[in-house]
Structure 1
Amino acid sequence: MGRVSQAQAEENRRRVVETASRLFRERGTHVSVADLMKAAGMTHGGFYKQFASKEALIDEATAHAFHELTRHHKDGLEQYGGRHHAAQQALIDTYLSPEHRDSPADGCPVAALATDMARDGGESEARRIYAKGVGDFAEWLATEDQDGITRLCTMFGALVLARATNGSPLSEEILATARAALTTTSRVPDSEAAAG
């Protein structure tokens, strides 16, 4: 069997990172290398040709998840013509929706990876990436009258609790209550109100 071309090797690596990013958000970083490679449609033996260790993949998959989050924020700003407040409100509605609750693999890495990062306890690159991502997200959520960390904690806590109580009426109530709290207490900045 011939050697894999450099372009194919890069494509394989990208596929593994994307698959890992989704699986880690859905099931946690304890997913085995064998299961991960199977989900990517590749053999287990190819893993160590691409990655020095599972920890190295966790680092890359975490970075990939936060790059997706940042891209989502930029796309929201474009969609709303640069009106940050409108993009924030749309994000809050999406974040605190049953669809996001039910789709952790495609969802926010802040909520999905928090437990794994807390258990890590070390000075890993993934934990550094996670902390920076949390800080950037909180900064993006800040308004003239609300601290971004408070808003992110409200969103994060509501999403985690809604996932943990999914299947009960309380789950929907948690999402709706947090969504209402975050959308009724923030006022539209004067510059956006004038432009709108």
Structure 2
Amino acid sequence: MRKSREETARTRARIVATAAEEFRRSGIAATGLASLMGAAGLTHGGFYKHFTSKDQLVTEACASLMMSGTDVLVERARKEPPDQRLAWFVNAYLSPRHRDDAAHGCGLAALGAELARGTEETRDVVTEGLNHMVDAVASLMDPSENTDIRARAQTLTAGLIGAMTLARAVNDAALSEELLANTAKTLLASVR
């Protein structure tokens, strides 16, 4: 019995969503196709009905995960008064909750070093995702400032991603908490 196009598309989307989560949780290299397909509730043999290679899946999963996390945070930040939106975003991004849930957090912080060694197609998606995040951060900044908002947003974004990456990398809980709190405080002071 052949699957309908809609069912095939849903299955592919499920594989991409599972891959995005598994890659953020364990890393790209450490995530095998058999375990990934199992996590999606499918058999390993079905992978090649949807993708020609793991690299193709990595690119598609990255396209998905690069935008979604940023969009959720920005949408929530917009519920705050305008002068508090950026602070809300920074504090939510640099929270212990985000640190402890890499599987559902920022793909740039979870996979940055691996993505730097990815295919050109994947790096194109990463570039687009980073620009999306920078634009999102810029949209939360006060436009009445006479300084270059995009440059400030790039710096702020780099600080957010770097701090989250380091907070996850260290095995000293107190240091991890300090990195998050001190970076949030310093970044916010730098954009005022």
TM-score bracket for this pair, using the shorter chain length = 0.7 to 0.9
1:184 aligns with 2:183: no
Measure how far apart 1:62 and its partner are: 0.4
1:43 aligns with 2:43: yes
Q: What is the TM-score with the length of structure 1 in the denominator?
A: 0.84
* 4+ residue runs over 6 A deviation: none
Deviates more, 1:135-144 or 1:34-43: 135-144
Secondary structure of 1:52 counterpart: coil
1:63 maps to: 63
Residues 95-114 of structure 1 aligned to structure 2 (within 5 Å): 95-114=93-112
Identity %: 37
Measure how far apart 1:137 and its partner are: 1.3
2: CA distance between counterparts of 1:80 and 1:159?
23
1:156 maps to: 161
1:192 maps to: none
Deviates more, 1:63-72 or 1:100-109: 63-72
1:28 maps to: 27
Letter in 2 for 1:61: A
2: CA distance between counterparts of 1:185 and 1:70?
21
Q: After superposition, what is the alpha-carbon deviation per residue over 1:112-141, rounded to whole angstroms, capped at 9, x for unaligned?
A: 121111223x4x211111012112212332
Match of 1:136 among 132, 139, 150: 132
1: CA distance between counterparts of 2:44 and 2:86?
41
1: CA distance between counterparts of 2:77 and 2:95?
20
Letter in 1 for 2:166: L
Measure how far apart 1:70 and its partner are: 4.5
Residues 164-175 of structure 1 aligned to structure 2 (within 5 Å): 164-175=169-180
Q: What is the TM-score with the length of structure 2 in the denominator?
A: 0.86
Aligned residues: 182
2: CA distance between counterparts of 1:5 and 1:136?
34
Gaps of 5+ in 2: none
Contact 2:77 2:88 in 1 (8 A): no
Q: After superposition, what is the alpha-carbon deviation per residue over 1:30-49, rounded to whole angstroms, capped at 9, x for unaligned?
A: 11111110010101111111
1:90 maps to: 88
Q: After superposition, what is the alpha-carbon deviation per residue over 1:146-186, rounded to whole angstroms, capped at 9, x for unaligned?
A: 61121112111111111112443111011110111122333
2:53 maps to: 53
